[in-house]
């Protein structure tokens, strides 16, 4: 496997100049992009306390499951040091530390960092969250790390991020809609702009992988197959609360998301279908026998997964999260 990983790293070096040329098609200028303070009460204004009171009133209408999903999403976003160190490990091993991929990772991290910052401050001001217990979960998630099955392979790494950015876009977009339904237009705007960021980032990672398919189609196909056989696990799959074991809270979090329709098994299938179309998997040539088998597996997988998803029952068991105070 080491030989093939090194071969894939060489392809990444080949694609790097193209990525540098296109990078800022997918990122926004730091001076112009939104910041958390654009949405939160301004502590320098006389209206600060009145604005907080309004925020708390609107947050009081959020359903229990929606609040639980929002907290879980926030913890996931705040575990950014884990994701950055994982990307840096892949990039530093495979490319020049000051090269383009490392530059991309730093800029991507800067944009992503705003998400957890914004949501954390909103939850703090909402008055509905035991912040210390939430903060403990965040620290646990960073300390526990994750195992998402990519190793140091850059192909599997970017396939994962392509899928995951699409998934977070779906989740934040749905939370935005539900927040609006529950009367919290401010939270809806917050989640809406976060979802837009995730969509841009997904577009970037998908584009980078499409270039890899052009250069090294067979190995890219094998990497895609490998990730889908393992299943794309969410970055918060080790989520836990104070006094619980590693990963013990994650199932309850995903149950709440499933009940609300924030992120479901059908969404997983839809994302896979989108990647198949975007990467034109059905029409890729220059595959050897293993590559052809990998493509056959990928092309048949959505139908198989959809049959499973349709048989799944909506989880009914409710769980009391230690994070939620009110």
The residues carrying an active-site annotation are: 34, 77, 112, 115, 165, 168, 197-198, 201
CA 219 → CA 48, 129, 229, distances in Å?
Answer: 56, 46, 15
Going from the C-alpha of 312 to that of each of 49, 228, 229, 270, 281, the distances in angstroms are: 46, 19, 20, 16, 28
Separation CA 256–CA 173 (nearest Å): 16
Neighbours of 8 (CB within 10 A): 22
C-alpha 120/C-alpha 104 separation (Å) is: 25
* CA separation for the pair 320, 94 (Å, rounded): 44
Give yes or no for a contact between 139 and 207, defined as CB atoms under 8 angstroms apart: no
Q: How far apart are the first and last CA of the chain?
A: 51
CB–CB of 97/59 below 8 Å? no
> What is the spatial distance between Cα 146 and Cα 142, in angstroms, rounded to a whole number?
9
Burial class of residue 233 in the structure, from the number of CB atoms within 10 Å of its CB (0-12 exposed, 13-18 middle, 19+ buried): middle
Instruction: For residue 286, count CB atoms less than 10 angstroms from its CB and return exposed for 0-12, middle for 13-18, buried for 19 or more.
Output: exposed
CA distance 272 to 76: 22
CA atoms of 15 and 160, how far apart (whole Å)? 18
């Amino acid at each position: 496997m080491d030989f093939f990983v090194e071969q894939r790293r060489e392809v990444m070096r080949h694609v790097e100049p193209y990525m540098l040329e296109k990078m800022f098609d997918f990122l926004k200028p730091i001076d112009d992009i939104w910041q958390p303070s654009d949405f939160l009460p301004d502590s320098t204004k006389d209206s600060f306390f009145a604005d907080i009171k309004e925020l708390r009133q609107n947050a009081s209408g959020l359903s229990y499951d929606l609040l639980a999903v929002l907290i879980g999403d926030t913890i996931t976003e705040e575990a950014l040091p884990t994701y950055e160190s994982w990307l840096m490990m892949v990039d530093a091993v495979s490319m020049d530390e000051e090269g383009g991929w490392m530059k991309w990772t730093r800029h991507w991290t800067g944009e992503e960092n705003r998400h957890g910052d914004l949501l954390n401050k909103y939850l703090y001001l909402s008055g509905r969250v035991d912040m210390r217990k939430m903060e403990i979960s965040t620290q646990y998630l960073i300390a526990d790390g994750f195992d998402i099955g990519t190793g140091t392979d850059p192909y599997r790494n970017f396939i994962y991020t392509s899928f995951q950015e699409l998934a977070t876009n779906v989740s934040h977009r749905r939370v935005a809609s539900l927040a609006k339904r529950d009367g919290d237009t401010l939270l809806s705007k917050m989640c809406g702009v976060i979802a837009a960021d995730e969509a841009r980032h997904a577009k970037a990672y998908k584009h980078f992988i499409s270039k890899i398919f052009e250069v090294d189609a067979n190995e890219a196909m094998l990497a895609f197959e490998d990730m889908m056989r393992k299943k794309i696990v969410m970055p918060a799959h080790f989520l836990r609360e104070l006094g619980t074991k590693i990963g013990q809270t994650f199932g309850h979090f995903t149950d709440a998301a499933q009940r609300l329709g924030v992120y479901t098994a059908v969404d997983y299938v839809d994302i896979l279908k989108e990647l198949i179309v975007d990467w034109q998997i059905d029409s890729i040539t220059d595959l050897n026998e293993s590559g052809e088998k990998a493509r056959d597996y990928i092309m048949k997988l959505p139908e198989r997964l959809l049959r499973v998803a349709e048989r799944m029952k909506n989880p009914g068991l409710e769980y009391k999260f230690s994070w939620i105070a009110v």
